[in-house]
Amino acid sequence: MRGGWPSANRAMRRIVLPVARTAALAAALCGGLAGNATAMEEVPFITTPDHVTAAMLQLAGVGASDYVIDLGSGDGRIVITAARVHGARGLGVEIVPDLVAQSRELARRAGVADRAEFREQDLFATDLSPASVVTMYLLPEVNLQLRPRLLALKPGTRIVSHDWDLGDWRPDRTLVLDVPDKVVGLDKRSRLHLWTVPAAVQGRWCGTGAQHGWQLDLSQQFQRVQGRVEPGGLAIDATVSGLDLASADGLALRLVDGPARALAVRRADGAWSMLAGARFEPAAAAGCPR
């Protein structure tokens, strides 16, 4: 097992129990802020330390225009810090009532109660669509259960997870921080993972205007996009970050036009120069009109 919570599987079983039973046990996940002695013996202290909280928000590039949702917000420190230090707005969802009350009180004392909201709510029942940033300090299995919903967020939404990744959706960046007083894991370190939600571009795209008759076929695995342009058969191997798709060999496209969707070429160097200024629209039928 990777470094981190030694009793992750045991804790996971509890996290999916009905809310009433989960509450007392899950409280202990946050370092006994509202927990009890028995649960504390079984579940290690795992509140995100202040310098790690600061690094999570910095890694996500949180600013005043962001709306941060912390899933399982504990004592509210991530959302409160986002509001207090970065001027962001945010929402913490937490199933333990005492922690929600504590978060509201801490937000009030920090003078950010108007920008840091806390709801007693199951994170799985939370609408994530308003988020520009999602933060999590959960468990590997919970992250994986959340993954389809995270992938469906607005392209460009940033996700930061403390310690646990999202399986084969590889992080765009990982930061390792020393946490000398960390009471879980073996190596006294925290791992922070960042993802930027990629636009979904898989499929067949047809050239318009001067590129009428051109066809772009793309397959996608998270941030990685591979494909081919016809005529000519040039292979595309690119990375998507938010709405932008770029290949190392000089092709850059952006998904534009919102729900109508089109792929606009922004840069086409070298072998790609024949696509300069091109615009592709989703194929209506199996092939592109010739």
DSSP annotation of 184 = S
Kindly give the interhelix angle for 77-86 and 50-59, rounded to the nearest 10 degrees: 60
Angle between helices 97-109 and 19-29 (to 10 degrees): 50
Tell me how far apart the alpha carbons of residues 90 and 166 are, in angstroms, rounded to a whole number. 23
CB closest to ligand SAM, residue no: 72
Q: Which is nearer to ligand SAM, 110 or 252 (CB)?
A: 110
Rounded CA-CA distance 63/176 in Å is 22
Query: Which residue lies nearer to ligand SAM by CB, 149 or 261?
Result: 149
Evaluate whether 29 touches 142 at the Cβ level (below 8 Å): no
Contact (CB, 8 A) for 91 and 135: no
Output 122 or 165, the one with its CB closest to ligand SAM: 122
Q: What is the smallest separation between the CB atom of 31 and ligand SAM, expressed in angstroms?
A: 8
Nearest CB to ligand SAM, comparing residues 29 and 150: 29
Name the minimum Å distance from CB 184 to ligand SAM.
Answer: 10
In the bound complex, what is the minimum distance in angstroms from residue 162's beta carbon to ligand SAM?
6
CB of 249 to ligand SAM, least distance (A): 41
How much is the CA Rg of the chain, to the nearest whole Å? 22
Q: Cα dist. 96→3, 33, 71, 123 in Å?
A: 27, 10, 12, 11
Closer by beta carbon to ligand SAM, 123 or else 206: 123
- Would you say 94 or 244 has its CB closer to ligand SAM? 94
- Whether 280 contacts 216, CB under 8 Å: yes
CB of 156 to ligand SAM, least distance (A): 22
What span, in angstroms and rounded, lies between the C-alpha atoms of 263 and 282? 8
Minimum distance, C-beta of residue 107 to ligand SAM, in the bound complex (Å): 14
Sheet holding 158-162, edge to edge: 116-120, 89-94, 67-71, 133-136, 158-162, 189-196, 173-178
Q: Which is nearer to ligand SAM, 119 or 170 (CB)?
A: 119
The least CB distance from residue 22 to ligand SAM, in Å, is 6
Report phi then psi at 147, rounded to 5: -55, -45
- Residues in the site for ligand SAM, rule: CB under 6 A? 15, 22, 26-27, 29-30, 46-48, 70, 72-74, 77-78, 93-96, 99, 122-124, 137, 162
